Amino acid sequence: MTTTLPPAPARENDDGTAAPPALALRGVTRVFGAHTALDTVDLEIAAGEVHCVLGENGAGKSTLCNIVFGSLPPTTGEVLLDGERFAPSSPADALARGVAMVHQHFSLVPTLTVQENLLLGRGVRRLRPDRAGLAARLAAIAETLGLQVELDARAGDLSVGARQRVEIVKALLDDPAILLLDEPTAVLGPDEVDSLLATVRRVAAAGTAVVLVTHKLGEVMRVGDRATVLRGGRVAGSGPLAREGGAGTPGAPALTAADLVGLMVGREASSLDPVLAASVGVVPTAGPSHDGGPEAPARSGTPVPAQGPAQVPAPATGDPVLTVRGLTVDDADGARRVDAVDLEIRPGQIVGIAGVEGNGQSELVAALSGALPASAGTVLLDGVDVTHAGPRRRTALGLGVVPEDRHHEAVVTGLSVTTNLLLGRLHRFRRLGLLDRRAMRAAAADLTDRFDVRTASLDAPMSSLSGGNQQKAVLARELSLDPLRCVVAAQPTRGLDLGAVDDVVAHLRTAAARGVGVLVVSSELSELLVLCDRVHVAYRGALRGPVPTDAPDARDRVAHLMTGAPA
Amino acid sequence: MTAPTSTTTAVVPTPGDDDGPAAPAPAAPAGPAWRDRLLDARPVLVPLAAVLGALAVSTGLAALAGATPAEAATALWEGMVGTPYAIGSSLNVAAVLLLVATGFLVAHRAGLVNVGGEGQIAVGAVAATAVGTSLPSTVAAAVALPLLLLAAAAGGAAWASIAAWLAVRRGVSEVITTLLLNFVGVAVLVLSIHEEALLRQPVTSSETLPQSSPLVDAAHLPLLGLPDSPATAAVVLALVGAVVGSVVLRRTATGVRLEAVGRSQPAARRLGVPVDRLRFSALTTAGATSGVAGGVLVASVPYVLDEGLASGYGFSGLVVGLLARGSFTAAVGIAAALGFLVSGGINLQLAAGVPASITQIAESLIILGVAGTAIWTVRRTTRTRRPWWRSRTTGRTAARPAPEVAP
C-alpha cells in the first residue's frame, strides 16, 4: 500500500512481513445504558500510516478515542497493540504503553511556561524535573519532525496554533507508537491547518501510527492513507484513500471524497446543500492544497455562494436592527479585545464575521449579548441604545443570542429540556404563584416539534441530548423570541453533525427571510461564504472588510484579510 | 504491496461483523443483576454504613467511659424515646435543626454553601431577645411572637447578608465568610449578655449570671399541648418552613431560577435571570431561617439568652442539609434522627455517666463517613485498576518494532 502514498520514505520497512498492526480493534462494542455508542467496530492501523476516522458527531469517534486512550473500557471486544492484548486502565497506563492523544480541547496550564507544561507529569518519581532529558528529546523532535516550541513562553500567551504544536510535542515526548488526534483542526486558521497537516505527515513518516479523528473531508483527503467511516457507532466503510496519480491497493477500491461523504451521511454527496458540503470540507477550507488536492465533488475554481439554493436576495431595506458604533471592549487586564468596531445590520441581512479564533470575536459577541461591558462606543438595537443594558432587556427588545460555548453559556446541562427552553420566560407560566408545568410542557413540545429537537423526553436533562439537538434547542429558544429583531449566532454549527448543520443554517435563513437581522460569527470561512450576504473579518479586535460574498474573488479577499494584510 | 490481510476490507458496510475467535470478551463487566441493584442502592447504603460505623465507634468510646454497651444503649434509648418528655425535647431539637437545614437547602439550590448557621442563630437570638425583653408585659402573644420571630429572622438575614454581599459583589467565597462570621456572631451574643447596657439582666450580686432577663410571657413559644411533652410550636413552624421551602424550590419560577443559577451562572445570566439578586436573597434566606432558629431557642425554656445557646445547632443543621442532598423529605427525617440522638446523649450523661459529647463524636463520624464516601455513591464505570506501582512496568518498547530498523 505504501506505493500509493506521497513522500513517506521511512515507511518502506514494514512491508514483506506479516507484522501485526500497530493498533487493532476487534469487535469493540461500548454500551452506555440503552445507547450503543460503538457497535462491533473492527479497525486496524499500521505503523507509519495516517488513518483517518471520520464520522458525524455522535457517530462514536470520541468513544473510540476514549477506549484506545484508556478513559473508557470497552463493553465487549478487545484492543490489540502490536498484536498484544491491550486493556489500559487509565490514560497514564495508555501513555506508558505508547499511546498518546492530543485532545480537541487543549490541556496546557496557561500560567505555566511551555517548558513547565512539558515537564508536568513527567519524572514524578524524581526529585527534580528532568530538564536536560527534555531538551535532548526536544532536539530530537525538532530534528526529525521540524517541530519547534518556544520553551520560555507562557502557554497562555501562545497563539492557538502554537499551543497545539506544544500539545503535539508533549504527546510525542515519549515516542509513542500511536498518536491520536481528536479533531485537531477545529480551532485553527487556514495556515495553521496546513502546517498541522504537514506535521502529521512527518510524524507518520517517522514510523508512528497516526489516528486522525475529524469530520472534515478536505483534510482527510490531503493527509490520510486510509480512512474508516463511522456512522451510528458502526463502521460504515473503510479502505485506502484515493490519491491523484495513484490507484488504490489492488483489489480494494480506493475511497474518493464523494464516497466518504456518502458513507458519512448515508446519501449522495451531490445532493448536499453547499453549506453542508462546506462544513465537511469538501470545499477545501484553505487555498489550493499542496499535495494535489482532493477530487471533491463540489469543488470549483470560484467560491460557491451563487449556487446556494436558499440565497434569496436580502431585502436590505428598512432601518438597521443592529447598529454598532465604535464598540470597544477592554478586558480585566486592560488589554483591548474589541477595537472600535462598526457594524450595521438591516432586516433580512445575514452578515458574517470570519477570522481566526482569538481575534476578538468572542468578546464582540459577549459585548453584544450584554455579558461584557463596553468600554466605549454604542450598541443600538432597533434604534434603542442598549450599550449598558443587561441581557434581559436586550432579549426583551428582540435580540436572540446563540452563544459560542454551548455548555458554558447557552444551556444549563443539568436542567431539563423544558426548563432550558423556557427559562427566560418563566413568568408566562405562572398560575396562582406556582409554575404551570402542563402549559410549560405544551410550549416546550411545540418548540421541540417546530425545531425538530430530538429528545427522549421533555423532562430529560439537556446533557442527554446530542450536540446538534442541544444547538437546535438553543435556536428554538432564541428564534422563538417575541419580538425578534436580530440574532447573533456565534459558531452556530461548531461540532454539529451534518443534519444538524443543515437545520441550523435553514433556521437562520428562515429568520432572515422573516426580516430578522442575522449576525453569524464563525471560523468556518466556507460556511460564511455560502450563508452570508457579506463577510467581515475580525483581526486583532478590529473588523475589516466587509467583503460581499457575491464578489468572484470573495474567498481570496477574506483569506487575505485574515492574515492581517491590508485590504 | 502487502497490506495486512484484514485491512483490505472494502467499502462495504460491515455491521455486526464479528471476527470469530477474537470476539469473546473476557473483561466484559457484565455483572449479575443483583450487583447492579446493589450499586444503584449505594446512595442509601453508604450513609447507612456510615451511621452504623459511627455507632460502633461510639459504643466503644462509651465502654471506655465505663458504661457497658447495654447500659449505654439503654440510657441512649431512654433519652431518645423512653418518655413523652424525652420525645418532646428531641422534637424541639429536631425543629431547630430543620429550620437551619431548610435555609441551607434554599441557598444550596443556588449553589451557595451556608456554613454560617451558628453565627446566624446567635445574632437572630440576640435580635429576638432584644424584642422579647423590651416588649411591655401586657402585649398579646399574637403580637409578641410574630414580632419576636420577625426580629430573629431579620437578625439572621442581616448577618448572612454580609457574606452574601461579599459573595455577589466581590466574589468572596461564602464558605469562608459565613464560617468566619460564626465567630463574630457568637461574640456579638457574648458581648450583649455581658453588658448591662445591652441585654444583660440587671446585676444585683456577684453571682448574677451573664445572661439576659427572661422574655415577657407573651413571647414564650406555646407548647403543642401533648401530654407530658415539652414539644413547642417550633415543631410546627419548622415543618411549615420545610413545606414552604419545598414548594418554592420545586413548584415556582423562583425555584427553577435558583437551580439554574446554582448549575450555571453564565447561562442563567444570559437568559436574563437576575443572578446576583437571587444569590443574595438565597443566602440571606438561609440566614433568616437560622435566625428564626435562634429566636425559637430563646423563646423556649428557660426563655433567656445565654452563652451556650447556639452551640452546635448551626453545624448540626448544616449536617442535616448536607445529608439531605436537596430533599426536604430527607431533611425532616435526618433532623428528627439527629434531634433524637442529641437528647439521647444528654440522658447518656445523666444516666450512664458517659459524657454527652459522645453523641457529637458520633455525629461528626457520620459526617466524615458520609462526606468521605460520597465518591462511592456516584455511579462510575467499573474498571480494573492497576496499582500505581505497576503502571510503568509494561514493556511496550520491546514489543514495538522500531521504525528505524530497515529490512
| Of the partner residues B2, B269, B401, the one whose CB lies closest to the CB of residue A47 | B401
The answer to whether B27 contacts A73, with C-beta atoms less than 8 Å apart, is yes
**Chain B residues with CB-CB distance to A3 below 8 A:** 1
CB contact under 8 A, A82 and B399: yes
Chain A CB contacts of B400 under 8 Å are 22, 82, 98, 177
- The C-alpha of A239 sits at a distance from chain B's nearest C-alpha, in angstroms, of 6
| Cβ within 8 Å of residue A47, ≥6 positions away | A14, A19, A21, A22, A177, A207, A208, A209, B401, B403
**Alpha helix segments (H runs only) across A370-413:** 391-396
Cα–Cα distance list, A434 to A145, A216, A426, B253 (Å) = 65, 48, 10, 7
Q: Which CATH class is domain A300-398+481-567?
A: alpha beta
Prior bond to A483 cis, omega within 30? Answer: yes
Best probe of the B interface among A42, A144, A407, by most B CBs < 10 A, is A42
How many CB atoms within 10 Å of residue B388? 11
Cell, residue A269: 454527496
Grid coordinates representing A208 are 508512528
Cα B287 to chain center, whole Å?
A: 14
Residue B18 pLDDT greater than 70, yes or no: no
Report the residue from B251, B273, B396 with minimal CB separation from A177: B396
Q: For the domain bounded by B88-200+211-340, which CATH number is listed? A: 1.10.3470
Say yes or no: do domains A2-269 and A300-398+481-567 share a fold. Answer: yes
Q: Which amino acid is at A220?
A: V
pLDDT in tens, A126-154: 677 778 888 888 888 888 887 888 888 88
Q: Do A395 and B272 touch (CB under 8 A)?
A: yes
Output the nine-digit C-alpha cell for A295.
477530487
Is B394–A96 a contact, with Cβ atoms under 8 angstroms apart?
A: yes
- Chain B hits for A403, CB-CB cut-off 8 Å, are 270
Q: Of A11, A73, A435, which is closest to B256 when you measure between CB atoms? A: A435
Surface of A (75-104) touching B: CB under 8 A: 75-78, 81-84, 87, 89-90, 92-93, 96-98
CB contact under 8 A, A82 and B18: no
Q: Which of A26, A46, A98 sits opposite B22 (nearest CB)?
A: A26
3-class secondary-structure state, position A113: strand
Q: Is A69 on the interface with B (CB under 8 A)?
A: no
Yes or no: say if A51 and A224 are a contact pair by the CB < 8 Å rule: yes
Domain spans, chain B: 88-200+211-340
Name which of A389, A405, A368, A387 is nearest A518 in CA terms. Answer: A368
B contact test, residue of A42, A412, A429 with most B CBs within 10 A: A412
Q: Which of A273-282, A551-560, B212-221, B298-307 has the lowest mean pLDDT?
A: A273-282
Q: Give A 430-459 residues with CB within 8 A of chain B.
A: 430, 433-435
Is A82 within 8 Å of B272 when comparing Cβ atoms? no
What DSSP string runs through A187-248? T--HHHHHHHHHHHHHHHHTT-EEEEEES-HHHHHHH-SEEEEEETTEEEEEEEBPBTTB--
Rounded Cα distance between B394 and B1, Å, is 32
Domain A2-269 falls in which CATH fold? Rossmann fold (3.40.50)
CA B154 to chain centre: 22
Picking from B17, B384, B399, the nearest residue to A40 by CB comes out as B17
Per-residue pLDDT of chain A (567 residues; tens, 9 = 90+): 333 334 333 334 444 455 788 889 888 898 877 678 888 889 889 888 999 988 776 678 888 888 888 888 888 888 888 888 888 888 888 888 889 988 877 778 888 888 888 888 676 666 777 788 888 888 888 888 878 888 888 887 777 778 888 888 888 888 888 999 988 876 676 677 788 888 889 888 888 899 998 877 777 888 889 989 888 788 888 888 876 444 444 445 677 777 777 777 666 655 656 666 665 555 443 333 333 333 333 333 333 333 334 444 445 567 889 999 999 988 777 778 888 899 999 999 999 998 877 788 888 999 999 888 888 999 999 889 999 888 889 998 899 999 988 888 889 988 999 999 999 888 889 888 899 999 999 999 999 998 888 888 899 898 888 778 888 899 999 999 888 999 999 988 887 777 778 888 889 999 999 999 999 998 778 788 888 999 998 888 888 878 898 888 888 788 778 776 665
- pLDDT for the residue numbered A364: 92
Q: Do B403 and A426 touch (CB under 8 A)?
A: no
Taking CB atoms and an 8 Å cutoff, what residues of chain A touch B17?
Answer: 27, 40, 42, 235
Q: Is A208 on the interface with B (CB under 8 A)?
A: yes
Interface contact B271-A395, CB threshold 8 A: yes
- CB–CB contact B260 A423 (8 Å): yes
Region at B237 (left for phi over 0; alpha for psi -120 to 50; beta for the rest):
alpha
Instruction: State the pLDDT at residue B329.
Output: 92
